[in-house]
Chains A and B, each alone.
Chain A
Amino acid sequence: MNSPIIETIQLSYDYSLDGEKEIRALDNLSLKICEGEYLCLIGPNGSGKSTLARHLNALLLPAAGDVYVDGLLTALEENRWEIRRRVGLVFQNPDNQIVATTVEEDVAFGLENLGIAPPIILQRVAEALELVGLKSLAQHAPHLLSGGQKQRLAIAGVLAMRPRCLVLDEPTAMLDPRGRREVLATIRMLNRQERVTVVHITHFMEETLEADRIIVLDRGRIACSGSPAEIFSGKLDLEALGMDMPPIPALAMALREGGLAVPQGILHVDQLVEFLC
């Protein structure tokens, strides 16, 4: 793999509830995210996924350990804005991350914050809207968009800042199936065509099958990591971590247990169809 774009070194973070009890959200977590990679983060609720995401663009600072983004240390105040430009964060609720009253103005928001010259803003906004397929809706009010369109707008808003890495914190959790497909296709396209590093946090196992690498978090530590084929080979006890197998690997495993010699690494319907027929 390529050089790491983000690196966490023995990162720990505590949440304090009621100012007394400290809850360890991240525990000595060391992780390298490579340039151009499509990384999926999964794990049960409270495993520290979102906390980790917020460390990747200096929204949260480590209680112990270090986070480097493109060689910049997040703990340093002077690096903060450059890091936030390089690592774009997209959140779960599409409504709550749209600031402006038109689609176009919202995409421009980040660029305006960076103090970029107006002609360049116009150009980059057009580019970003084109990429996510919202160009025809540039003048629309955001509340008239569908969930999937809103989330793609949020992605465009981040994309216009030309980030090197896109961190998406459960971007499809509040969408209907159609919106989910739109958003996933957009993420995949950005990773494959535009070579944007993607860190995708999700609850839906089937969304992870396209990833280069999956990391399973549990109680603030990395429980295991590997390619989708490795994670869903059936050797890992996902149920103990409170997660389900995606349907096709689950079926392949059931067939294997039933005595059929289904090979390892079957993740998609067509692969299974090809083997069986």
Chain B
Amino acid sequence: MSLEVPDTTETDAVPERTPDELEALLGDLVIDRDDHLNAPGFVIRPDAVQETLSTLKSEAGYDHLSLVTAQEYENRYESIYHLKKFDDPTQEVSVVVPADKDEPVSESGEAVFRTADWHEREAYDLIGIEYDDHPDLRRILLPETWQGHPLSLDYDRDRPQIATLPEHANPLEDHHHDSESDTMFLNIGPHHPATHGVLHLKTILDGEQVIDVEPDIGYLHRCEEQMAQSGTYRHQIMPYPDRWDYISAGLLNEWAYARAAEDLADIEVPEYAQVIRTMGAEMCRIAAHMLALATFALDVNGDFTATFMYAINDRERVQDLLEDLTGQRLMFNYFRLGGVVWDLPEPRGEFFSKTRDFLDQLPGSVEEYHDLVTANEIFQMRTIDTGILPPEVAKNYGATGPVARGSGIDYDLRRDDPYGYYDELDWDVVTEDGCDNYSRLLVRMREVEESAKIIEQCVDLLEDWPEDERNIQANVPRTLRPDDDTEIYRAVEAAKGELGIYMRADGTDKPARFKIRSPCFSNLQTLPEMANGEYIPDVIAALGSLDIVLGEVDR
């Protein structure tokens, strides 16, 4: 939780380069320095993006493009490439690319990191920066016919807009077969039971095989970044993170904002509050993974009753605990900057015994899920060796969370970039090497057990915590005004992966730029890699195993 450029005393695998060494490595490419609180920042020319990124990737080992942030200043546009290492995410570097105010064009980083594709499309859509050499620079979140770029400074919100309802021709009509290639277009969504919300998949079929699938997102783009930019740091932003990943992962999301804002404003969180946070967050993770399991079984088995109901039943139990703790079932709004809003519910003993009861019955239900789902032969036939995502591809797309860990990438921010109370507790990072749909499900199910271990240790700690040391909140000023032009990017391990927040302060009590790095956004991008060449039902299974939440994909 240090504010300085992270040092790497705890790692030995990857040699750390000091910012000066990096600057020397990049040589003439660097035209200026613009350090962020979390990482050194190098300003480069807009036409040297690919060269810089590939030098950093191949020679300095920065193989994870976590986020591309775009923003508009009074005198320029700017894209920031936040780079990390999969081996050690505390080693970060920011590549800052300014672009001309009148003609904002910079080179695309897509050739070096595939994940830049969608990130740059989003930057183009919302800010209006154009990227040279980008393979497919279109709007991604807003309708194609939208006028203006809503997060640019001169955007007029009152102008009328037109959205189209493109008619996709009936696949059964003759003219829809392309006479030369004999393929067929199939439209899935945005209203479809298997898309987990309002995702739209444009698929091209050859027989029953998928030859191309293109996710079309933006049907739930509710301007989360704008909402956060118009709220004050202290209280007005915290309710929104609950609504990004709304599958009960609220506390995990709140933690992302809390962590970034606390580091930005230099707030120390009391240990007791960190333990409560850790416990609550892991309860959320269990609830989120239970729903992932429930809907995955629904997608693959079409089994609306048994597995779905079992998993929802377990979710209800966790939600009861969370409701006792926070007062709400789904949108908790429980964290505050510097701690949590209130202490554990009284009588504490009852809460602890309820939690322990839940933990006691959990191994039994996990066993049951293994009987019902993972040991099921039909389920195995559907999921083993389908939806293959090799680790190199996953890294190239910036996949994180259970999706990356199901491909054998040992990457978990709770351990690698510790926050909260995780580094004091005894638990393991779960990985599976199968790279297929089955592994991703197994990772989630085993993570539920690890989360239970964490909760149990937290309950033990909280039970014995001396009564006069139960400090739930640090002393935080009523109005926070971080220094002008401080920038920070911080991430936590949410249910779906690395959830990061970039914030730029401008000396007021509201962030000047608030950018969300959504794990689902990057994970969903891998779908074509997993689905192309597979059968149609495998696309549905792959999508289910990605466990996306459209609220977080579209933000």
Partners in one complex: no
A positions within 8 Å CB-CB of B: none
B positions within 8 Å CB-CB of A: none
